[in-house]
Structure 1
Amino acid sequence: MFDSVLIANRGEIARRIIRTVRGMGLRAVAVYSEADADLPFVREADEAVLLGPANPAQSYLDQEKVLLAAKETGAQAIHPGYGFFSENADFAQAVLDAGLVWIGPAPEAIRQMGDKINARNLMEEAGVPVAAGTREPVTEPAEAAKEAARIGYPVMVKTAGGGGGIGMGVAYDEESLAKAFEQASRAAARFGGTPAILLERYIERARHVEVQILGLADGTVLALGERDCSVQRRHQKVVEESPSPGITPELRARMLAAAVRAGEAVGYRGAGTVECLVDADAQDFVFLEMNTRLQVEHPVTELVTGVDLVAAQLRVAAGESVTLDATPKGHAIEFRVYAEDPKRFFPGPGKIAEWREPAGEGVRVDSGYLEGNTVTPFYDPLMAKLCVYGATRAEVIERARAAVAGFTVTGPKNNLPFCAELLDRAEFVSGDYDTGLVSRMRS
């Protein structure tokens, strides 16, 4: 086991990783931008290095500065968290080339799964169900129209190399396809990705369900249950829960087995997630994508399995054997607390005048801010993750109502009122919901 870890991230995920790193008796090194100098993660690390200005390109995404910080502090390993460098195969390779330990899967696995078309084809070859779609990149509107006619409308249009729902759109006919294709192409150019577009058959009334996998040092791939991530705005997750209330035990078994095959197909090591779309009516599923990193919503899996996923990542990266009982017990729900307008979901940064976190049985809060801190416009507006655990889903919903009511944030706009509204929505409470839930709430 290495003795020091540099966390190449910020905010709540940096705090969460620091907690486990120090709990294991290792030294935690933080890096930060000028905008984040007063945030808790900087103080809580054993050592912290200023990278540069707020602009991520000059701080968190400056590869040379991050590697230099590791060298100067004597850090032996780098944990990327999520976002930033977490799914950057070139950075992972640079870490290894510098003689450091990369806490994540092999660069080649990241590269293979980073291209959605390549990932689809690999998964299909491995026996993982995929939706009808394109096996080659689509770069021209006329080509897209031809492929859409072959697949059959409606189709989902998305960038082959994008993530987080960026640029995604649904086309129901040739006219809307042209608009969706242009939107996805612009998004690909804006975020520096491949100009290639992927088309897939769109599933109406779909649930977004993902399986947490853990690839061990000996090559074994484990499935640690699933998470339902169907509560989304703009194709981005807001609330996640485990287990999913919308799948049968038989479907769950098939999804977990497919996720293990997916991990084995790329020789996966460490924590990763196999994301699927579930046809709630047919009780069937198809592969969506694979995230080669720790997920924002990993706490719900930790709560139902009792497994510290960050500790598991560290042990796998160090080559240690990992023995664990991953049988899920009980139920957990995570609410992402954003600095955003709870109606239109536009970012609303600002200085935090008051910050009071809820407590109580089954309540866990992973936060990146404290009273007096400022949520700046430079980064994702996620302030905290409110996680609630209980023996049953009904118990968790009751506890969640109290926890949301007891979470006070003043200063920045925040989406806690939306969380309270969701917990009173009959569709969510029943468990019979899909990815269109938030749109229906705002229609």
Structure 2
Amino acid sequence: MLGAREFNFDGLVGPSHNYAGLSFGNVASFNNVRSASNPRQAALQGLAKMRALAQRGFAQALLPPQARPNFRMLRAIGFSGTDADVVAQAWRDAPVILACAYSAAPMWTANAATVSPSADTLDGRVHFTSANLNNKLHRSEEHRQATRTLRAIFADQERFVVHDALPPTPAFGDEGAANHTRLAREHGSAGVEFFVYGRVEFDPSAPFPKKYPARQTLEASQAIARLHGLNPAQVVFAQQNPAVIDQGVFHNDVIAVGNGNVLFYHEQAFADEQETLAALRVAMENVDAGLTAIRVDSADVPVADAVASYLFNSQLLSKPDGKMALVVPHECHENPAVARYLGQLTASGGPVDELVEFDLRQSMRNGGGPACLRLRVVLTDEEARAMHQGVIMTEALYARLVPWVEKHYRDRIEPKDLADPQLAIECMAALEDLETILGLPGLYDLS
């Protein structure tokens, strides 16, 4: 697969960005519950990151926000009348459910889908499976719009397949690419698809966390590998360490990240570290590649520091010189243990020789860092030309999106503001304009 590049599709933060603390098991989200958010700043921070990486020559695109509030969900559970009536009733009778309907969590596009490039699939097409996210009410309906959006961007059915989400039952709990990574000699070559799960639905003897939920099941990961037509010799399934889930590592991308032939991980990431590495090495040999494992010891970076700084919720990006840049949030610089480790990492002479730091504090306070904000899609040059071009980050697109954000987004949302019917009107107006900017008419069902 010559001429392939990895595109990072970052989530464009939606105008309803708020801190409702809806994600049990996500420490950062819970710590900031009911504080005031700044949607305008959040969106501009995300756009600045996209623009900066695009200017560096990395392939960068975006996924648009979803329509909020989710009136479909609110009406399905008995709220009725005009939109204003629905908001008023929900605020009076079920304010937490109204907060779920207003959630801007689709900004974390690592949860949008699992993606397999054409070099790995039996039919030679790029496969997407939208994540059902059924562990949390506020995310459980995202797959409807995610599927619609992916099919609009990747409409060429000769090159792309966008699967519906798995059945919305606990046995197939699926959180998307947050629990999946791909390792390969280079982006265009055949690779190893690495699925990390938190629990096994049909094996009660398997270890499981005691405090926080394990959101990804082995059964879901296996189903996706089948749907995508992956070669079993190029697939590895590994269980996440239940003890770190109970320390706030709700997804694998909070404790490990991979790129190329490099796996950057914490020593406590997996239930069986040595077995996991051995399986990865065998699979990498099957695709004529070796594995470079960068292990971070607890003595250097305790799990609590990794979670607080989101060290592993970073992006590893391949540079033209063969080295890699690690994209980290500003919080890594503020944590002494993490800052010290990163200085040693980049000076070690290993594959990671550069840090790229961004201020993503609005996202971080809600429990998502650089890796949460992006969906990785490896595309050949031909496939890249076949996708919808209006979502690719360019200077021209950036120049249109900044004033759009400044026009439509509030600079402060408190919990009580969700009761304001005007907020719903503002959100809908923003998306109507966005359809035009991105060249995707009819992207949303705003009826």
Asked whether the two chains share a fold, i.e. TM above 0.5, the reply is no
Higher relative contact order (CA 8 A, sep 6+): 2
TM-score, scaled relative to structure 2? 0.27
Higher helix share: 2
TM-score, scaled relative to structure 1? 0.27
Higher strand share: 1
